[in-house]
Amino acid sequence: MRIRRGFRSALALLDARWVKRIVHPLRWAVPGLLIAYLAWRLTQLGWGAVWNARPGNIGFYAAVLLSFYVQPVADLVIYRGLLRSEAVPLMALLRKRYINSLFDYSGELYFFFWARKKLAIKSTLLFHAVKDTNVLSASAGLVMIWMSLLAVVASGGVKLPAFAADKMWTFLMLGSLPLVLLLALFIGGRRVTMLSRHQILVTFAIHLVRCVAQLTMEFLVWWLSGALPSVAVCLEFVALRVLVTRLPMVPSKDLVFVGIGIAAAGVLNISAPSVAAALVLMTAFSLVQNLLIVGLPWFLEQFQVRRLDRVVNPSSTTRQELAFLTLRYHSAARRGELKE
């Protein structure tokens, strides 16, 4: 009950007028500043040089296109299992992914309210499913961060400082902290969640497989781009991407990663135009897919719904217009201005 009251308080806070006045400008200002910075950096590199350095391997483009669907498909499997409903469509989860890319966890709120409206599911079960799925997703993501960093260190891409090497067990214990939330859910059982232990383990396993698939696709994208010289450097950029995606409450993380990736290329003495070309194409493909697969169909759907609603349930303005025309008709009829 405390969790639900906290959830409702958070919704009320988000609906507060002063919060909207702060959040809405930031939602546009942050991406605008990032785009301005990236345009300046690409101008410094030279737009022609960036275009000429674009990847020529078609496998790069195929990997970018396929990686778009990894998370929505995993969420589809999870929510159809937890909610025991085959009525959860892939499109709703694609929209959730897109809204989350604008601001952390806003897509989860969208999915919660969408499912509560469209599906015949108890609000309590839906709330716990969304909450616990995000907890397990965060745990799997943090585990993958730890594994990515271990892979980078093992490949020789990063050398640990002396103090880190001396306290390896301490760092291993700290790196195991992401499992605490998972263990709390698993041990707490019905006292903290409506999910069974079997559902918790299956959901966590799916998230872990999803994270591995995303990292594998990310590695393939960099390897096939030809922008990076070795496997070790590809792993470094994959680990960098994982770290950026896990930054809390940071909007437009794709744009943030483009800027950080270009800066990292300079630090590592790698061809900055090649890295910039790969990053810009990855971001552009994601934006185009969001527009064509998510945004445009959603807009058309809302347009049709509003048009149908206007016909079935005329607005107050339309009713006033009809009343006015009816009054004029009767007035003209009384004056004999209407002809048979």
CB 186 within 8 A of CB 200: yes
CB 72 within 8 A of CB 97: yes
Residue type, 324: F
**DSSP E strands, the chain:** none
Is the pLDDT assigned to residue 301 strictly greater than 70?
yes
For residue 302, the model assigns a pLDDT of: 76
- In the structure encoding, which two tokens stand for residue 215, read together? 């990292």
- In the structure encoding, which two tokens stand for residue 304, read together? 């049709």
For residue 19, the model assigns a pLDDT of: 47
| Least confident segment among 115-119, 275-279, 310-314 | 310-314
The average pLDDT across 228-235 equals 88
CB 277 within 8 A of CB 50: yes
For residue 183, the model assigns a pLDDT of: 73
Q: Is 28 exposed, middle or buried (0-12, 13-18, 19+ CB in 10 A)?
A: exposed
DSSP category for residue 175: H
**pLDDT tier at 59, thresholds 50, 70, 90:** very high
CB 93 within 8 A of CB 75: yes
**Residue boundaries of the structural domains of the chain:** 2-307
Tokens 């993380």 belong to: 253
Q: What percent of the chain has pLDDT over 70?
A: 65
Is the pLDDT assigned to residue 35 strictly greater than 50?
yes
d(CA 48, CA 38): 15
Most confident option among 202-216, 243-257, 270-284: 202-216
User: Could you read off the pLDDT of 127-172 as tens digits, one per residue?
Assistant: 888 988 988 888 888 888 777 777 766 666 555 554 445 555 665 6
| Least confident segment among 19-28, 98-107, 188-197, 286-295 | 19-28
DSSP category for residue 103: S
Is the pLDDT assigned to residue 17 strictly greater than 60?
no
Return the C-alpha torsion angle 134, 140, 146, 150, nearest 10.
-150
